[in-house]
Chains A and B, each alone.
Chain A
Amino acid sequence: MAEQTYSDTEMQLVIFKLGREEYGVSILQVQEIKRITDITRVPHTPEYIKGVINLRGSVLPVIDLKKRLNLPPAVSTEDTRIIIVKVQEISVGMIVDAVSEVLTMNQENIDAPDVVAGSISANYLSGVGKLENRLLILLNLEEIIGLGQENVQA
């Protein structure tokens, strides 16, 4: 799905904040954005799995995105949101500090992820977008959710 959207010249992104950095995911992968609710902890899961929530009657896992990306934790505020994304038929929630906007970005302005690997494992990134003086980090959701090699430990 990701490749498909990237092949077009323009793509729409949902922009959100983690700490002071701005991140983006393709709008096609986002199902909805929800205020933070009760999250039930699930034992014996990797640390970045925050737990499960009730989304209109179905049970949905929620990922603590900052933990997943090795970013310093923050307390949840009024702005904290859960972005529900769907990747390969699996719906997952991701906790983010704030959701700011939806914007359209030209393909030309997106660089390969290796430019700014930094603290985040390059696997988790699919590119870096430049928009005027802002840098938007685009996430590779397949890897973040753990559909790559690594699996949830039993």
Chain B
Amino acid sequence: MDTNQYMGMFLEESREHLQNLNSCVLDLENAPDNLSVLGEIFRSAHTIKGMSATMGFTTIAELTHEMENILDMLRKSQLKATPDIIDAIFKCVDTLEQLVESVATGNESSIDNKPLIARLKALGKGEVVPTATPAPEKVVKDSVEASTITLNETEIGLAKKAQAQGLQVYEVNVYLREGCLLKSARSYMVMNVLDEIGDVIKTIPVVEDLEKEKFDLNFQVVLVSGSDAEKIQQAVLSISEIEKVVVMQYNLPEEVVKTENKQQTPVEQAKPAAVNAPTPTTTPTATTAKNKSGQSVRVDIDKLDALLNLVGELVINKTRLEQIGITHKLTDLVETIEQMDRVTTDLQSVVMKVRMVPVGQVFNRFPRMVRDLSHGLNKEINLIIQGEETELDRTVIDEIGDPLVHLLRNSIDHGIEHPEERQAKGKNPIGDIRLIARHEGNNVIIMVEDDGKGINPDIIRGIAVKKGLITQAEADKMDANEAVKLVFLPGFSTAEVVTDVSGRGVGMDAVKNKIESLGGMVDVETKINEGSKFKIRLPLTLAIIQALLVNVSEEIYAIPLGSIDSTININSSDIKTVQNKEVILLRGQIIPIVRLANVLQVPEVEKSEEEQNQEELFIVIVHIGEQRAGIIVDNLIGQQEIVIKSLGKLLAGIKIIAGATILGNGQVALILDIASLIQ
């Protein structure tokens, strides 16, 4: 069977499990004795192993296998989770990440897993009694002949009742064929067959795990049935891809209390946390359920984009129908369309919501990064994450990761001081970095806050002058706030030593550009010796925005409402010139003027006498951050919700156009990029 079609799924799930591993191992580092975390790690590793073996990626499978051995020993308390071991596990996760990515790019063999496997083996042997060295898993599994299933009280009750009715209790061990691709489907078919023959009392792992393929190649079922063992075996073997079936009489324990004794045999992979638990029920599934609450479907983002496009189309067509209804005075049609309007509005908001994902998806990878970086720099840092459930459009989520990495690295490298320095200042030697996300109106705010040394405006001024970014005179005029913002200038870097972590002088500039390209803003507040706070403001979504439509001559342009302050009417005589630049005075503030017709090279249209002499001008006052400007337009059409479309690769380079949208009449209108327009 061709496994290519499962490739995407494999990659995505592997990445997810690796992410999970990363965060769990971090947890484990903080609480080395936490068995449920260990269980979680084990499960993720095991799933990766199973998947990679199925897909034929032996290097990944081998490595996870060794990793599993170590984890198993940790779980059985045969090993202690020393920093050395944690480190080795981290190393494993890193290597696995590389391996998975190399699978994605199609050159698997480039990474050598041998040294790491050797290290794991050495770690495993180092502190363990030789007899306990885990034999290869396959062997263990095949040798499971004695009953390893323990039932809880209710289950025993059921079994006893069945026995009293003259039925038999069987333990059925089902082994799937190696390379079986649809394990869940096979297990489901097995369960169906068994359900027909008798009543299933218990499965190991539990049914949900079977459905999610959280088992290796075999699973066990306790069944009460009137048929004999052979019949059951035949029935199950009739299903394809079943390697072997072992049906045994199940001996009911006399007392429930004795269950503990039965657990000397290797515990099934799928219920790791049950090792020391007296009632071997579903402890591990409980934690799994918590992590993956709710049912979900994996959908390609392209499909969602297509869906959104279609909804946009629908809205446009609806508007057309509306116009037809109005021009031909068809009351029935207009009424029907009103109803349709409600549906399309709902549809639109649902589609938008579907595209929203929690920022936690991006935040997840930061604890590990902060840990590694702070270790490397000999700093102690506590990362506090808040509001990871805040939702943002998927397109924004995909883009926001890099700027946040920059900001965090900056805080770690330049912000937080070394422990001794902190102590000398009377601060807690452990530095705090807060990563906070929250909603604010139609925006999402993400803050990176540290309690480090802050940014000294004088130093910033000095560097900016030295690097020739501003003149001394300009620097002297700036207040502290303005000076600190110089860090966003291209080519600015404050690090005296360029470290591995940051300080290449591209960081902040890149951050600012990225955020602005997402339609957001970044700002910084800082106090010397108290810390700095970088505040990113992002629009909830990039796909649909409110905009003001304006006329310039015959052409229609859209200005995003988010950057509009107000619209005013002025007399042409109100425009003054300062140093040959046109400005107006608005509430005591001098605002530069942009004549849209000139900037957009709008072709001259013959104007009537009346228009020529028109004294009244429409001005849209816009702002980007603190900067304001007035845009002269010919007419204001109105406010409208617009769907943003890209102009495509061919026209991607045009600065003052942010995109296009399709109007109700099917015409294309261009969206102005205010930031580049007023600069």
Chain A positions within 8 Å of B, measured between CB atoms, are: 37-38, 40-45, 49, 51-54, 56-61, 90-92, 145-146, 151-154
Contact = CB atoms under 8 A, between A and B. Distances in A.
A135 B537 CA distance: 60
Contacts of A61: 647-648, 650-651
Given A52-B647, A52-B660, A145-B650, A59 B668 contact: yes
A90 B654 CA distance: 17
A54 B667 contact: yes
B73 interface: no
B657 A43 contact: yes
Given A43-B657, A61-B648, A54 B668 contact: yes
Interface of B: 309-310, 312-313, 316, 555, 599-603, 645-657, 660, 662, 666-670
A52 B316 contact: no
A148 to B, nearest CB: 13
A45 B648 CA distance: 13
8 contacts: A37-B666, A42-B651, A43-B670, A52-B647, A57-B645, A57-B662, A61-B650, A151-B653
B647 A57 contact: no
Contacts of B316: 57
Contacts of A59: 645-648, 660, 662, 668
B555 A40 contact: yes
B555 A45 contact: no
B656 A44 contact: yes
A104 B248 CA distance: 73
A90 B312 contact: no
A60 B312 CA distance: 16
Contacts of A37: 666
Contacts of A58: 309, 645
Contacts of A38: 666-668
A145 B648 CA distance: 13
Nearest to A146: B650
B201 to A, nearest CB: 56
Given A43-B600, A43-B601, A58-B645, A49 B651 contact: yes
B654 A154 contact: yes
Contacts of A92: 650
Give the 9 A-B CB pairs with smallest separation, nearest first.
A40-B668, A57-B313, A43-B600, A154-B653, A59-B660, A59-B645, A43-B601, A38-B667, A54-B662
A57 B600 CA distance: 24
A57 B650 contact: no
A40 B600 contact: no
A90 B668 CA distance: 19
Given A53-B668, A57-B313, A45 B654 contact: yes
Contact of A52 (B312, B651, B652, B653): B651
B670 A40 contact: yes
Contacts of B669: 40
A152 B601 CA distance: 16
Contacts of B313: 56-57
B676 to A, nearest CB: 10
Contacts of B656: 43-44
A152 B654 contact: yes
Most buried by B among A52, A60, A152: A52
B317 to A, nearest CB: 10
B648 A90 contact: yes
